[in-house]
């Protein structure tokens, strides 16, 4: 794997840290601004919505510039947003800083996926995408827990200042290590080509799988703290190391998913979604037992994130001529799924179905993603069968 992937992984690590660390620092930020915890929760919701809206907006703007230059600009936005968050004197400015930071998220991973896949030989693209996403998964194991510790000991503003410093390192890495690429030409036609990719039903199916599949993960993980303290019998302090186990599972699933997606993408996707649906269904029972829950949680992370490299590569494969916008939109789809799943999980809890009920929601979402994957595979086989024989069977030539 080329060194340029390290630069992309560092940027991904910073983005992953700032996305997840706020969840552990909500009490501190709420105290600083004298707001309630639900109000402080807008710092999480605002970030997610910013990712969904910012991905297509900045990816479209990015079609006017080289991908390297756009990645550098996105790291600049990331640094500015985190500095604003660190220095914000009011809650409104803190929220604005979170939204500014989130705008870089979807476009960075979208454009970064295109760049990563272009850095390696054909047949290794999913592994390259997984290498970049390793930064995001490691952020859940190291970045967010350490950032939470720093915020609790020194003040949360130092955490965001540190994340801004990570963004500076990411900027420098992209500038130094990512190869220069030519500025795109024929801008108007290029933008139309980027939007035309959404007329491909396979692109829409892949995004649907993204929303439902990873949404299944967040249906459970959003409510992991009350689930573990009220059902499994863990103390509050144990939730942190349980989330570290979840992060370790994400790291493993990301690397395995990338490796096997390069060999057999759709079979890898089928396997991961089946395993995810079954594991989430089992979690309704294992969430009531300490040891069983501790075993199940990293499996949810592993099977959930094993779908990320194949789904991202699936979108790139189906939009080979103009992949940037669709790739960024697929990152937004992950966050849309997160928000949808958290809302549905809250509904079943409020409906009196119990604190473990979101796991059934997650299992249903993962099973629905599997259904879309089967439809996608059948359509692909049907299209291959309809192609002329001479396109499907190599023509023998004389030596």
pLDDT tens figures, 151-190: 888 999 999 999 999 999 999 999 999 988 776 655 555 6
Residue at a domain's end among 168, 184, 200: 184
| Domain assignment of residue 399, yes or no | no
pLDDT tens-digit map of 188-202: 556 677 777 777 898
Residue at a domain's end among 122, 157, 184: 184
* Of 369 and 113, more confident: 369
Residues 108 and 177 in one domain: yes
Residues 153 and 213 in one domain: no
Q: What gap in Å lies between CA 169 and CA 167, rounded to an integer?
A: 5
Residues 178 and 259 in one domain: no
Structure tokens at 391: 């396109």
Q: What gap in Å lies between CA 213 and CA 266, rounded to an integer?
A: 14
pLDDT tens-digit map of 82-97: 999 999 999 999 999 9
| Centroid of chain to Cα 318 | 19
CB atoms within 10 A of CB 107: 31
Residue at a domain's end among 165, 184, 203: 184
pLDDT tens-digit map of 285-296: 999 999 999 999
Structure tokens at 42: 């807008």
Residues 326 and 191 in one domain: yes
How would residue 394 be classed by pLDDT, with cut points 50, 70 and 90?
very low
How would residue 329 be classed by pLDDT, with cut points 50, 70 and 90?
confident
| Domain assignment of residue 390, yes or no | no
The structural domain count of the chain equals 2
Cβ pair 140, 300 in contact under 8 A: no
Cβ pair 97, 186 in contact under 8 A: no
- Indicate the Cα dihedral angle 169, 170, 174, 175, nearest 10°: -40
Residue with tokens 């952020």: 139
| Domain assignment of residue 395, yes or no | no
Domain interval for residue 222 = 185-384
Residues 143 and 279 in one domain: no
Lowest mean pLDDT among 38-52, 122-136, 268-282: 38-52
pLDDT tens-digit map of 255-271: 998 888 888 889 999 99
* Of 88 and 203, more confident: 88
Residues 139 and 273 in one domain: no
Residues 28 and 152 in one domain: yes
| Domain assignment of residue 293, yes or no | yes
Residues 175 and 190 in one domain: no
DSSP 340-370: HHHHHHHHHHHTTS-TTHHHHHHHHHHHHHH
Residues 145 and 215 in one domain: no
Q: What gap in Å lies between CA 291 and CA 126, rounded to an integer?
A: 34
| Domain assignment of residue 389, yes or no | no
- Sorted by sequence, the CB contacts under 8 Å of residue 206 that are 6+ apart come out as 311, 314, 315, 318, 330, 376
- Sorted by sequence, the CB contacts under 8 Å of residue 26 that are 6+ apart come out as 37, 40, 41, 43, 44
Does the reported pTM lie above 0.75?
yes
DSSP type of residue 384: H
| Domain assignment of residue 199, yes or no | yes
DSSP 246-275: HHHHHHHHHHHHHHHHTT-HHHHHHHHHHH
Residue 301 belongs to domain with CATH number? 1.20.1250.20
Residues 370 and 347 in one domain: yes
- Percentages helix, strand, coil for the chain (3-state, rounded to 5) are 85, 0, 15
């Amino acid at each position: 794997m080329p060194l340029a992937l390290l630069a992309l992984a560092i940027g991904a690590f910073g983005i992953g840290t700032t996305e997840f660390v706020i969840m552990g620092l909500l009490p501190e930020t709420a105290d600083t601004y004298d707001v309630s915890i639900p109000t402080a929760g807008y710092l999480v919701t605002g970030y997610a919505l910013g990712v969904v809206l910012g991905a297509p907006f900045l990816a479209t703007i990015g079609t006017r510039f080289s991908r390297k230059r756009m990645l550098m600009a996105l790291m600049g936005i990331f640094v500015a947003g985190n500095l604003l968050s660190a220095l914000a004197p009011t809650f409104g400015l803190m929220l604005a800083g979170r939204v500014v930071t989130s705008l870089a998220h979807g476009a960075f991973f979208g454009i970064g996926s295109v760049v990563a896949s272009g850095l390696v030989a054909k047949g290794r693209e999913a592994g390259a995408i997984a290498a970049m996403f390793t930064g995001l998964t490691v952020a859940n194991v190291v970045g967010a827990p350490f950032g939470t510790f720093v915020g609790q000991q020194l003040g949360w503003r130092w955490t965001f200042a540190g994340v801004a410093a990570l963004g500076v390192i990411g900027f420098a890495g992209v500038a130094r290590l990512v190869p220069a690429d030519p500025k795109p030409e024929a801008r108007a036609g290029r933008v139309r080509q980027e939007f035309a990719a959404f007329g491909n039903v396979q692109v829409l199916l892949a995004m649907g799988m993204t929303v439902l599949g990873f949404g299944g993960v967040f249906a459970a993980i959003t409510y992991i703290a009350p689930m573990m303290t009220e059902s499994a019998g863990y103390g509050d302090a144990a939730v942190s190391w349980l989330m570290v186990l979840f992060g370790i599972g994400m790291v493993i699933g990301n690397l395995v998913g990338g490796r096997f997606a390069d060999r057999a993408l759709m079979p890898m996707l089928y396997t991961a979604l089946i395993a995810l649906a079954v594991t989430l269904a089992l979690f309704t029972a294992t969430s009531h037992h300490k040891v069983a829950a501790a075993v199940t949680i990293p499996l949810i992370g592993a099977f959930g994130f094993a779908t990320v490299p194949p789904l991202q590569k699936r979108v790139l494969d189906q939009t080979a001529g103009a992949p940037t916008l669709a790739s960024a939109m697929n990152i937004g789809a992950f966050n849309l799924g997160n928000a949808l799943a958290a809302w549905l999980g809250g509904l079943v809890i409020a409906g009196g179905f119990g604190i473990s009920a979101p796991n059934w929601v997650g299992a249903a979402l993962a099973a629905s993603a599997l259904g879309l994957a089967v439809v996608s595979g059948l359509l692909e086989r049907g299209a291959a069968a309809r192609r002329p024989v001479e396109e499907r069977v190599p023509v023998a030539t004389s030596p």
